[in-house]
Amino acid sequence: MSLLASSAPLQVLVEHIFDPTRYKLLVVGPPSSPCLYATFTGMLGGCKPAKRDADTGVLSPVSQGGKNFLERRILNRVLECVIGVDEGGSSGDGHER
């Protein structure tokens, strides 16, 4: 992870939007990237996770609205992504590195 965290921004294709803060991303560039064509789950830093109903697991109306908005704006588009690690050594997925 430290190799990616210190590298230049990656070009990623947004393949799937799980909720307003989590995305499935495919690395499509630059050609010299050490993880070209790798898929990973990206999370937005500094955002609260989406609210889900405890019984059904369905997104709250506000979270569903955010997901619908993002599907219209960024799904199947190539974006620039910077991978980082926060001060505590976590990559954002809750696991310590």
Prediction pTM value? 0.74
Sign of CA dihedral 81, 84, 86, 88: positive
Could you say which architecture CATH assigns to the domain 2-81?
Beta Barrel (2.40)
Kindly report, residue by residue over 10-61, the tens digit of the pLDDT. Answer: 899 999 999 888 899 999 988 888 888 999 888 887 777 777 888 888 888 8
